[in-house]
Chains A and B, each alone.
Chain A
């Protein structure tokens, strides 16, 4: 949820009441592939906004266009009211990024890398405090090539926020982190939001999006398939969603043809997503279980109305992330 107070702080910080990010009809083509295909959304100042989608959905391409790495083939983007390519330096002074590859110099130490990046900004955070905040105090004098994957990730996160940015891009921030570092990272994202910083993140982890994001956009094949708060999105799936774990290769057509059932799909071997007509859910469940009994199928799990982002994600994209 966007809290009014945060939004005001963020708006004062960037001196605008305009959205922090506007993506309008964005298209990016690689060869025969439309990596981003007519994508439009806007992110409010102070919002934590998550991009969800399977691999190859166009999340990273979209973020890298916003960061100024590549130009759109059609459509336009504005970031903090600026053009990411033509007004690059002005934007980069107010933006922080955490890429999928950490990009830290293997022969320098975390302290040296943090001090280097701090020198690029007019009013940076204290590198020593930041080392404590991301839990790298003990590794401050270790060459980066000797850091673990999770430690490098935390250093990349510190680099993203050292310049006190108004907007932070986090591309798969907790990938490769242990659970403890993941929790610490979530805490930092919440602190950023409390300070009025806009955060745009991509993630593989649906619970990460559910816990952190004010709003979530689900992208598939470069197109927007759903946009809303996690609550709004999960409400849409709550009624009539049935999840079934049984033996693989059941006849989908037979399942879909049962009374009260609208559609059925095997999302991965042995895992079935069944969409029932909400008003006829009890009848549909009775028909499903009766059918399973008659077919002699072993039932491992049957869930109704899970209402998680995962359910929606699977239904919309038909793929496990």
Chain B
């Protein structure tokens, strides 16, 4: 067997293991799939306070997509990675022939697979139950999903690298709740107190939500500032993640 074929087989096996683990972590499914779907259903029925449009789903779906990305990259990947280091799983893999890059590819593929499931479930529910139809620039939205994934996966990995496993667990969940409030996903940003809204606009959560919402709406000028904020977070988080990453 050539080394190239062996490498591909190694990455394939690791990817399979990562997918198994994703499916087995019940609390992950809750926070990555069930919570965004539940919030979509709940606030579509209840209505969003202060929203002028008569179709809340157009406002809510981009927000729930952003929330799903945050849960997948930051909460799920971050906590899982922190505990894999805590249990010595990463250290043991470090002595195996699987290269570091191979492990990262396998983890990225598992994040991607979960993300496809999230997007499909949310979009299908929005379309079939609430009559949502793609508008604006869906391809741009997909690119934003990719950029958001890089940013939040970077934040999750940076937390896993810099903090203890327990602190990553608590911190990622707390940040998830905080981002839910200040992202504009369910609560329009202009309903927040002025200083908090200004701060929120610098967060990757609000940037991703705003950009996704603009991309999926017709005749809205694309918010370049949100894109810049998100890109800056993506680069910064990756740099910190690469610097703090430890096998043990």
Contacts and interface: CB of A to CB of B under 8 A. Distances in A.
Interface of A: 67-69, 89, 92-93, 95, 97, 99, 101-108, 112, 115-117, 119-122, 156, 159, 163
Contact of B92 (A93, A99, A119): A99
B89 A119 contact: no
Given A102-B92, A103-B91, A108-B21, 15 more contacts: A69-B91, A89-B97, A92-B96, A95-B95, A99-B88, A99-B92, A102-B88, A103-B87, A103-B88, A105-B84, A108-B17, A116-B14, A116-B16, A122-B1, A163-B97
A107 B96 contact: no
Contacts of B14: 116
A122 B97 CA distance: 10
A99 B93 CA distance: 11
Contacts of B88: 99, 101-103
Nearest to B99: A89
Q: What 9 A-B pairs come out closest when comparing CB atoms? A: A103-B92, A119-B13, A101-B88, A103-B88, A92-B97, A97-B95, A120-B97, A120-B10, A93-B97
A69 to B, nearest CB: 7
Contact of A103 (B21, B24, B89): B89
Interface secondary structure of B, over-half rule: helix
A104 B92 contact: yes
Contacts of A108: 17, 20-21
Nearest to B102: A120
A150 to B, nearest CB: 17
Nearest to B80: A107
Nearest to A160: B95
Contacts of A106: 87
15 contacts: A68-B95, A93-B97, A97-B95, A99-B88, A101-B92, A102-B88, A103-B87, A105-B87, A107-B24, A108-B20, A115-B13, A119-B10, A120-B13, A120-B97, A122-B1
Interface of B: 1, 6, 9-10, 12-14, 16-17, 20-21, 24-25, 84, 87-99, 247-248
B85 to A, nearest CB: 10
A104 B6 CA distance: 22
B35 to A, nearest CB: 21
Contacts of B247: 69
B87 A119 contact: no
Contacts of A115: 13
Nearest to B85: A103
Contacts of B84: 105
Q: Which of B10, B84, B96 has the most CB of A within 10 A?
A: B96
Contacts of A104: 87, 89, 92
Most chain A CB within 10 A, of B13, B89, B99, B248, is at B89
A69 B94 contact: yes
Contacts of B16: 116
Nearest to A84: B95
A119 B95 CA distance: 14
B113 to A, nearest CB: 17
Contacts of A95: 95
B96 A117 contact: yes
Contacts of B90: 103
B15 to A, nearest CB: 10
A119 B12 contact: yes
Nearest to B17: A116
B21 A107 contact: yes
Contacts of A117: 96
A95 B92 CA distance: 13
A105 B21 contact: yes
A120 B95 contact: no
A26 B17 CA distance: 38
A68 to B, nearest CB: 7
A97 B97 CA distance: 11
A108 B19 CA distance: 11
A68 B17 CA distance: 25
A159 B92 contact: yes
Interface centre among B17, B95, B99 (most CB of A within 10 A): B95
A92 B13 contact: no
A95 B96 CA distance: 8
Given A105-B84, A120-B97, A99 B21 contact: no
Contacts of A102: 88, 92
Contact of B17 (A69, A92, A112): A112
A144 to B, nearest CB: 9
Contacts of B99: 89
A158 to B, nearest CB: 12
Nearest to B247: A69
